[in-house]
């Protein structure tokens, strides 16, 4: 889409008619095409039918909350820049607006020149976003993933499998360790598939409190529960016509799993507190850091949901098994950081290369990127072993986390190998958590850093295994 200022549509949403007229005249003078809406319902109708290029939105509307209109506008078009214009110049409102992805925030009375400058920046931002999206849709998954993940034969085979399944509407399970690039693979599937023009909506199941899962996934009506001051669409609704990516699905409670399965089977759901079914058409991609069939055998994943999702599986091998990719990515991150810092670090010393190759990289590509960025910041002409943030305590934590714990006695239970592994996985994981928490004196944040997982994952697993850091450590 090519956009010029003369043809750009600016939607002005304000219940004060003089403000609408004034801003409309200002936009006309600047060569834009103004549209106006006195309330939230009219604004949403115009967002659906008129396809504005940017929005000037008042938060204090008579019928709908301005922040809710902002969220719905971004759900319809994630590249649409929305400028908040309001008389209620409160810090809380500004923070909430920016969290909901507002482009900018101006308070009444505003400076006309400043408003025009903000609108021009918003339109330029939209034009750039649309160009990037168009390029992303045209680029092949092969080129993108080779650049992002490495040129090894292993990644080549992964790309071949990805290209086969991307053109379908199959649900795909992506298995890989923390930091290995599961969301990168999911985005490539979406960009290469039939829903590339639709939204890609990622959901980190490990970051959602158990009590909020249903509202987060399916949305809620106004008054559905304490704090639900307005209607809010959920992630399924936001992903309609596109792709929903459920990351760390094994952190999803069993009750939420049942409702996800029902929504996928019936292709509809009701918001929390609502009775009107909402039709959906989404492709679902899921990711986990362990085999889902083992989790199913252990009772952590519903069998019916597993069979619904497991139409195709992609496995991302850990970085320590891909030495060719490791060195390629190290050089790539070095070059990118050189550009960012305006430096000219020109390579790695031989001891540094050996250290990179010998490190187990429990945090995979994410850990490598952080390590190389810090090394380039510290280095002069070349990265040496001393510049690498590969600390002995991290090596020790990884070795201890990977060490075998005392396995459960399964003799006489007539279990398959897969079932035995599934039962004992939790034993090993709990022991590794306890050991690391003892090492850190119960400090969960430090334990998360040592084990190379995010803080919310640590919290989830501590709760799952009934660990009390203040008593058990």
pLDDT band at 397 (very low <50, low <70, confident <90, very high): very low
Range(s) of the domain holding residue 123: 5-136
Same structural domain, 285 and 160: yes
* Shared-domain flag, residues 28 and 111: yes
Question: What φ, ψ does residue 65 adopt, rounded to 5°?
Answer: -70, 135
- 167 burial (CB, 10 Å; 0-12 / 13-18 / 19+) is exposed
Distance (Å, whole) CA 451 – CA 287: 19
What CATH number is given to the structural domain containing 180?
Answer: 3.40.50.300
Q: What pLDDT is recorded for position 139?
A: 47
Give the integer Cα–Cα distance in Å for 81 and 54: 5
Lowest-confidence range among 121-130, 169-178, 199-208, 335-344? 121-130
Looking at the fold, whether 13 and 130 belong to one and the same domain comes out as yes
Q: Based on the domain organization, do 201 and 127 belong to the same domain? A: no
Q: Is residue 184 part of a domain?
A: yes
| Residue 394 forms part of a structural domain | no
Lowest-pLDDT range, 31-40, 108-117, 133-142?
Answer: 133-142
pLDDT at 372: 94
Contact 248, 205 (CB under 8 A): yes
Question: Considering 360, 389, 418, which residue would you say is the last residue of a domain?
Answer: 389
**Domain containing residue 355: CATH number:** 1.10.8.60
Helix axes of 182-192 and 153-166: crossing angle, nearest 10 degrees: 40
Whether 380 and 416 map to the same domain: the answer is no
pLDDT value at residue 287 = 94
Q: Would you put residue 222 in left (φ > 0), alpha (ψ -120 to 50) or beta?
A: beta
pLDDT tens-digit series, residues 269-283: 998 888 889 999 999
Structure tokens at 346: 């020109």
73 close to 82: Cβ distance less than 8 angstroms: yes
- Which of 96, 118, 136 is the last residue in one of the domains? 136
Same domain, 132 and 148: no
Q: Which of 108, 136, 164 is the last residue of a domain?
A: 136
Tell me, yes or no, whether 111 lies in a domain.
yes
Taken in order 392, 393, 395, 400, the sign of the CA dihedral is positive
**What average pLDDT does this structure show over 411-427?**
65
Long-range contacts of 99-103 (CB under 8 A, 24+ apart): 100/67, 100/70, 100/71, 100/74, 101/70, 101/74, 102/57, 102/70, 103/54
Residues 318 and 348: beta-carbon distance below 8 Å: no
Positive or negative CA dihedral for 52, 54, 58, 59?
positive
Determine what percent of the chain is predicted with pLDDT higher than 90: 40
Nearest residue to 142 (alpha-carbon basis) of 159, 166, 128, 124: 159
Q: Are residues 147 and 180 in the same domain?
A: yes
- Residue 365 and residue 329 in contact, taking contact as beta carbons nearer than 8 Å: yes
Within this chain, do residues 182 and 129 fall inside the same structural domain, yes or no?
no
CA distance 278 to 241: 13
Mean pLDDT of the chain: 83
117-176: pLDDT as tens digits: 999 988 888 887 776 665 554 445 555 788 889 888 899 999 999 999 999 999 999 999
Residues 464 and 384 in one domain: no
Pair (282, 197) in one structural domain: yes
Q: Which residue has the tokens 């399944």?
A: 165
- Kindly state whether residues 247 and 338 are assigned to the same domain: no
- Whole-prediction pTM: 0.57
Asked if 129 and 173 sit in the same domain, the reply is: no
pLDDT tens-digit map of 421-466? 666 777 788 888 888 887 777 778 778 777 877 777 888 888 877 7
Using alpha carbons, select from 393, 319, 382, 381 the residue that is nearest to residue 356: 319
Q: List CB contacts of 61: < 8 A, sequence separation 6 or more.
A: 13, 15, 39, 40, 43, 69
Q: Is the dihedral of CA 407, 408, 414, 417 positive or negative?
A: negative
pLDDT given for residue 21 in this prediction: 92
For residue 372, give both structure tokens.
Answer: 């190389």
Structurally, the chain folds into a number of domains equal to: 4
């Amino acid at each position: 889409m090519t956009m010029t200022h003369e043809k750009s549509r600016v939607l002005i949403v304000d219940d004060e008619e003089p403000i609408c007229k004034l801003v409309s005249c200002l936009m006309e003078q600047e060569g834009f095409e103004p549209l106006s809406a006195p309330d939230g319902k009219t604004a949403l109708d115009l967002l659906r039918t008129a396809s504005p290029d940017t929005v000037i939105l008042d938060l204090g509307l008579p019928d709908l909350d301005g922040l809710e209109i902002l969220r719905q506008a971004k759900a319809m078009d994630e590249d649409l820049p929305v400028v908040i214009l309001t008389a209620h110049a409160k810090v809380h409102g500004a923070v909430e607006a920016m969290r909901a992805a507002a482009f900018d925030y101006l308070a009444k009375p505003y400076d006309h020149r400043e408003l025009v400058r903000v609108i021009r920046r918003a339109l330029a931002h939209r034009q750039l976003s649309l160009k990037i999206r168009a390029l992303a849709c045209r680029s092949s998954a092969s080129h993108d993933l080779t650049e992002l993940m490495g040129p090894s034969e292993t990644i080549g085979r992964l790309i071949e499998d990805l290209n086969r399944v991307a053109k379908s509407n199959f649900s795909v399970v992506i298995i890989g360790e923390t930091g290995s690039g599961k969301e990168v693979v999911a985005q490539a599937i979406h960009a290469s598939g039939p829903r590339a023009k639709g939204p890609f909506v990622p959901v980190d199941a490990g970051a959602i409190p158990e009590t909020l899962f249903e509202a987060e996934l399916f949305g809620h009506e106004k008054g559905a529960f304490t704090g639900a001051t307005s209607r809010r669409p959920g992630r399924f609704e936001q992903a309609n016509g596109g792709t929903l990516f459920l990351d760390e699905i094994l952190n999803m409670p069993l009750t939420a799993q049942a409702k996800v399965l029902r929504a996928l089977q019936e292709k509809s759901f009701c918001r929390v507190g609502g009775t009107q079914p909402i039709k959906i058409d989404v492709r679902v991609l899921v990711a986990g850091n362990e085999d889902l069939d083992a989790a199913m055998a252990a009772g952590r994943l519903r069998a019916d949901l597993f069979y619904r999702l497991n139409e195709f599986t992609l496995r991302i091998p850990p970085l320590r098994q891909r030495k060719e990719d490791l060195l390629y990515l190290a050089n790539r991150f070095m070059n990118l950081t050189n550009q960012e810092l305006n430096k000219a670090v020109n390579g790695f010393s031989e001891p540094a290369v050996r250290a990179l190759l010998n490190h187990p990289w429990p945090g995979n590509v994410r850990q490598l990127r952080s390590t190389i960025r810090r090394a380039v910041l510290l280095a002069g002409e070349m990265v040496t072993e001393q510049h690498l943030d590969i600390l002995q305590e991290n090596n020790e934590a990884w070795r201890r986390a990977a060490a075998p714990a005392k396995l459960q006695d399964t003799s006489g239970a007539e279990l398959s190998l897969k079932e035995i592994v599934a039962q004992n996985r939790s034993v090993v994981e709990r022991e590794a958590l306890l050991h690391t928490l003892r090492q850190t004196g119960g400090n969960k944040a430090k334990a998360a850093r040592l084990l190379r997982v995010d803080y919310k994952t640590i919290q989830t697993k501590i709760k799952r295994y009934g660990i009390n850091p203040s008593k058990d450590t």
